[in-house]
Amino acid sequence: MSQNETRALIERYFDAFNASDYEAMAGLLHEDVAHDINLGGREIGRDAFRRFNAMMSRHYRETLRDIEIMVSESGVRAAAEFTVDGTYVATADGLPPASGQGYSLPAGIFFEVDDGRISRVTTYYNHKDWIAQVS
């Protein structure tokens, strides 16, 4: 894919995220997508990605803003930096109790693209900062 095509693919991914359209997000992914979860290891496949998003939507309401997308010349790799604005709505296992606490923190995602679909999603954010904001 060209740089512009990859940029458009990543923009669609973020648009779907902000619309809470997790099925549209999954549709942009390669069937064997590698999903590297911040502090959580790697999961493989669209179905695992769907389960992850279902779990996340039970505990958090998030939108992303100030999204800056960078794409390699080859169009194979991309990265994005953004701010996550969220609300912690239901307690997740091993985390502080949820009571509707708001949070805002910087984050980033690295992407790989293969055959016109996203084949890797690697997410990073400062977990200690998030814990401090919701505690």
Domains in the chain (CATH in brackets) are: 3-134 (3.10.450.50)
Give mean pLDDT, residues 65-75: 97
pLDDT tens digit string along 78-131?
999 999 999 999 999 999 999 999 999 999 999 999 999 999 999 999 999 999
- E strands, 11-129, are 29-37, 41-44, 60-71, 77-88, 101-114, 117-125
For a pLDDT cut of 90, what percent of the chain falls above it? 98
pLDDT tens digit string along 13-40?
999 999 999 999 999 999 999 999 998 8
13: enclosing H helix or E strand: helix 3-18
Distance CA 74, CA 34 (A): 20
pTM above 0.85, yes or no: yes
Cβ neighbours for 82, distance < 8 A, ≥ 6 positions apart: 14, 64, 65, 66, 67, 68, 106, 107, 108
Per-chain mean pLDDT for the chain: 96
User: Maximum CA pair distance of the chain?
Assistant: 45
